[in-house]
């Protein structure tokens, strides 16, 4: 690897550079001590170094649910997160006649807590080590492409295996700064997670899709889970004999919430941002990926709503998927608008132009970094040719349908025949439990009506591929051909889908799980039509994967160089892109002039809930809540009334830097008390995944006073409040 000489010192600078404006950032905990002076300027009197200690206070209390963030709030393993982060648990425990997603749930006592269902996890980060040298060190420059990819992958597997020897721990080696740095993150993996409390949708999802990404916001986006471990205190499979996990640290839920001007921290697991990648990469996203999603997601939502309207059980099964599609769609609309009309893409281009000028201004820089941006651009262009075809193949055989399950079973059968260290990481034995749970959890969502509609939908697109990019296997199987009459293609697709979906037994939980980790012969003997399709598609998919690995290997030779250039130009102290690892961000509770003439005030309150509560659509506040608001108006005292607002605060804005995955993160005050829960960003914020605008970007939090008021005045959840050490 042609690693720039200055790289090591740059990474060192990330932790130690002299004070510079650090205006954005989902900071690595280890970067926090270096930000002490910025924090001091914001009035912080605590020790910034405390945030570097993963097992100390407060980070020891901050956990990942795998996709969402959360935190311990009692010594008995009680966890608070967002309502929208426990949708899976609510759906798992719902029946058509008992819809917890609508009605909510409050466990009467510990014994009455509900199982989280397969795949529910709590991850507690216990160690983060720099393994860059072990991953990328000592590889001759000529090793590139597929060979380089395979080598990096093998080294990461070895590092992971070494850290997972003790049971109950999970390790992930993750790339930071586009492959410039690799960190091994080790987490305790708790597998018995139970549902303690979730409010009704009329509180927890108040505003629904209408208010999603919007302000003013009035969502009680909170819920409680509890982590259980074996009687020996170590992670164990769900079992009645398990006992509550006793975390070393937990957060105090503040009865004072957060107020405008106050310094707040958010600790959590942001999923993915793309501020580092080159302009060519972002342009590809803006010009190809976003418009494609904006075209296809509304079609899929319409299709799932249509099948849901035909049958209430189908409706229940597709509901989470629809909510997910809506959320991504709304976000993507905002990203597209900001990128194109809002000029973010132009800003990105201007920034890269400056970087190029900075590189060209110095022959040493030119020699070190000069090849990266043109190289990435060339790779990008090369990939464009078959991208639509490859995406369609991936979506057709992708997650969510029984065909997706068939594909997982088939690949597992192939991979299981290899030694574990040579398997695709996804199919290594360490991942079998989650693969199996995924196939089990699928039962909540799997639906023949939905599958027929989705598979036909993807095939209709595949039928229209140009002659030079056909999926020949599918052409043969389904009876498609370029230039075919559209009506003939549609008829062939309908007949094929009907035949395969109706005859497949993969919709049966036991049949599906019975084929887990069986060999290809056993799968063939099952004679399931969708498994046969998966087997027929396998060679074409392997080809696509092989090409992707070669591409990734070549890119892995260029993107770290690009990242190093960006870091060097910026003088060092920059937070890496989000990648699902634990981060800390800080900012101030404050409003924003969202548009010319329109100001988002920093807080909302119960009077806004009452004003929005039409009882229609997304605004069905529960009667008990409306009664509690009336009682408050009539003079009932509450310790959660904000003296300035003269009302109970509901949500607040801050300029902390967050993204998807941060959902459920605790918002902490300067004393490390939980003053809120991060749950969303404003619409102006969505493009900040690509280019951060600290002036206008705002995250949306639920004030801890609203949480406590709901538990007190609406739910009368005395036990829960007692556990939070607050008498009702």
Strands 583-588 and 192-198: unpaired
Q: Select from 233-241, 288-296, 600-608, 667-675 the region that touches a second copy (CB under 8 A).
A: 600-608
CB closer to a second copy, 598 vs 634 = 598
**Window 634-673: residues binding a second copy (CB under 8 A):** 651
* Tokens encoding 41: 């300027």
In angstroms, the CA 267 to CA 586 distance is 9
In whole angstroms, the minimum distance from the beta carbon of 338 to a second copy comes to 12
DSSP classification of residue 618:
T
Choosing from 5, 98, 511, 599, the residue that interacts with a second copy (CB under 8 A) is 599
The phi-psi region of residue 606 (left if phi > 0; otherwise alpha if psi is between -120 and 50; otherwise beta) is alpha
Cα distances from 47 to residues 12, 32, 44, 545, 671, in angstroms, run 21, 10, 8, 47, 10
Q: Which of 192, 211, 221, 689 is catalytic?
A: 221
In angstroms, the CA 151 to CA 153 distance is 5
The neighbour count for residue 213, using CB atoms within 10 Å, is: 19
Contact yes or no for 18/686 (Cβ under 8 A): no
Q: Select from 38-46, 327-335, 603-611, 708-716 the region that touches a second copy (CB under 8 A).
A: 603-611
Determine, following the binding rule CB under 8 A, whether residue 626 of this chain makes contact with a second copy: no
In whole angstroms, the minimum distance from the beta carbon of 629 to a second copy comes to 12
In whole angstroms, the minimum distance from the beta carbon of 653 to a second copy comes to 9
Catalytic (active site) residue 84: yes
Strands 649-654 and 122-130: unpaired
Catalytic (active site) residue 218: no
* Overall residue count recorded for the chain in this entry: 728
Choosing from 608, 618, 670, 728, the residue that interacts with a second copy (CB under 8 A) is 608
Choosing from 47, 422, 593, 718, the residue that interacts with a second copy (CB under 8 A) is 593
CB closer to a second copy, 463 vs 677 = 677
Choosing from 278, 314, 603, 663, the residue that interacts with a second copy (CB under 8 A) is 603
Cα distances from 403 to residues 325, 406, 451, in angstroms, run 20, 5, 8
Q: 3-state class of 389 per DSSP?
A: helix
Determine, following the binding rule CB under 8 A, whether residue 215 of this chain makes contact with a second copy: yes
Choosing from 55, 210, 366, 614, the residue that interacts with a second copy (CB under 8 A) is 614
In whole angstroms, the minimum distance from the beta carbon of 291 to a second copy comes to 17
CB closer to a second copy, 264 vs 717 = 264
* Tokens encoding 627: 């009664």
* Tokens encoding 664: 């459920």
Determine, following the binding rule CB under 8 A, whether residue 598 of this chain makes contact with a second copy: yes
The phi-psi region of residue 32 (left if phi > 0; otherwise alpha if psi is between -120 and 50; otherwise beta) is alpha
x-or-dash string of contact with a second copy, 309-348, rule CB under 8 A: --------------------------------x-------
CA–chain centroid gap for 279, Å, is 24
Catalytic (active site) residue 704: no
Q: Select from 15-23, 212-220, 355-363, 417-425 the region that touches a second copy (CB under 8 A).
A: 212-220
Determine, following the binding rule CB under 8 A, whether residue 611 of this chain makes contact with a second copy: yes
Determine, following the binding rule CB under 8 A, whether residue 277 of this chain makes contact with a second copy: no
Contact yes or no for 222/707 (Cβ under 8 A): yes
**Window 572-591: residues binding a second copy (CB under 8 A):** 591
- The structure tokens 């651009």 sit at 377
Catalytic residues: 84, 221, 663
In the complex, the residues that contact a second copy under the rule CB under 8 A are 215-218, 341, 591, 593, 595-601, 603-605, 607-608, 611, 614, 651
């Amino acid at each position: 690897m042609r690693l720039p000489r200055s790289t090591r010192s740059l990474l060192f600078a990330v932790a130690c550079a002299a004070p510079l404006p650090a205006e954005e950032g989902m900071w690595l905990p280890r970067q926090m001590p270096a930000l002490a002076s910025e924090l001091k300027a914001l009035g912080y009197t605590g020790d910034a170094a405390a945030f570097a200690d993963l097992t100390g206070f407060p980070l020891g209390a901050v956990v990942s649910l795998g996709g969402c963030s959360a935190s311990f709030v009692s010594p008995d393993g009680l966890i608070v997160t967002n309502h929208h982060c426990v949708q899976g648990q609510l759906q798992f425990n719902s029946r058509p006649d008992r819809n917890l997603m609508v009605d909510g749930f409050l466990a009467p006592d510990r014994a009455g807590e509900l199982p989280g269902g397969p795949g529910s996890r709590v991850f507690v980060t216990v160690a983060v080590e720099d393994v860059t040298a072990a991953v990328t060190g000592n590889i001759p420059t000529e090793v590139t492409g597929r060979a380089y990819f395979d080598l990096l992958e093998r080294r990461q597997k070895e590092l992971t295996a070494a850290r997972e020897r003790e049971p109950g721990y999970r390790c992930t080696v993750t790339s930071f700064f586009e492959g410039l740095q690799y960190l091994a993150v080790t987490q305790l993996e708790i597998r018995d997670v139970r549902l303690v409390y979730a409010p009704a949708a009329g509180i927890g999802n108040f505003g629904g899709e209408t208010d999603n990404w919007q302000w003013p916001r009035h969502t009680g986006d909170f819920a409680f889970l509890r982590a259980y471990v074996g009687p020996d205190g170590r992670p164990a499979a769900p079992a009645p004999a398990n006992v509550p996990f006793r975390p070393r640290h937990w957060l105090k839920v503040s009865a004072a919430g957060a107020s405008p001007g106050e310094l707040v921290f958010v600790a959590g697991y942001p999923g993915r941002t793309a501020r580092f990648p080159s302009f060519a990469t972002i342009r590809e996203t803006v010009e190809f990926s976003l418009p494609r999603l904006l075209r296809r997601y509304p079609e899929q939502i319409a299709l799932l709503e249509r099948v849901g309207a035909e049958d209430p059980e189908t409706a229940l099964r597709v509901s989470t998927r629809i909510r997910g599609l809506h959320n991504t769609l709304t976000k993507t609309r905002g990203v597209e608008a900001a990128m194109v009309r809002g000029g973010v893409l132009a800003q990105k281009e201007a920034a890269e132009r400056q970087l190029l000028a900075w590189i060209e201004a110095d022959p040493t820089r030119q020699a070190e970094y000069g090849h990266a941006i043109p190289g990435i651009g060339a790779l990008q262009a090369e990939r464009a040719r078959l991208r639509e075809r490859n995406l369609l193949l991936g979506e057709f055989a992708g997650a969510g349908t029984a065909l997706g399950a068939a594909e997982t079973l088939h690949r597992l059968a192939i991979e299981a025949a290899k030694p574990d260290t040579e398997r695709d990481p996804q199919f290594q034995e360490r991942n079998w439990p989650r693969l199996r749970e995924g196939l089990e959890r699928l039962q909540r969502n799997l639906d023949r009506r939905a599958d027929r509609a989705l598979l036909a939908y993807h095939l209709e697109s595949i039928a229209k591929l140009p002659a030079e990019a056909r999926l020949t296997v599918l052409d043969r199987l389904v009876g498609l051909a370029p230039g075919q009459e559209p009506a003939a293609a549609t008829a062939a697709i309908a007949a094929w889908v009907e035949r395969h979906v109706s005859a497949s037994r993969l919709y049966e939980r036991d049949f599906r799980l019975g084929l887990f980790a069986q060999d290809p012969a056993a799968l063939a003997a099952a004679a399931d039509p969708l498994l046969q399709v998966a087997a027929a598609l396998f060679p074409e998919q392997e080809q696509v994967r092989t090409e992707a690995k070669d591409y990734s290997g070549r890119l892995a030779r260029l993107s770290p160089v690009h990242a190093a250039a960006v870091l060097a130009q910026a003088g060092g102290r920059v937070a890496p892109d989000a990648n699902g690892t634990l981060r800390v961000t800080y900012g101030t509770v404050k409003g924003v002039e969202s548009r010319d003439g329109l100001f988002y005030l920093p807080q909302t309150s119960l009077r806004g809930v009452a004003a929005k509560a039409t009882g229609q659509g997304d605004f069905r506040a529960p009667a008990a809540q409306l009664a509690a608001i009336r009682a408050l108006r009539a003079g009932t005292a509450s310790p959660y009334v904000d003296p300035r607002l003269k009302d109970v605060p509901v949500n607040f804005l801050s300029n902390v830097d967050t993204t998807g995955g941060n959902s459920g993160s605790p918002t902490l005050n300067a004393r490390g008390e939980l003053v809120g829960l991060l749950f969303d960003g404003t619409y102006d914020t969505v493009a900040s995944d690509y280019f951060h605008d600290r002036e206008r970007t705002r995250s949306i939090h639920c004030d801890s006073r609203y949480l406590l008021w709901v538990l007190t005045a609406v739910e009368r959840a005395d036990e829960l409040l007692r556990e939070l050490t607050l008498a009702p």
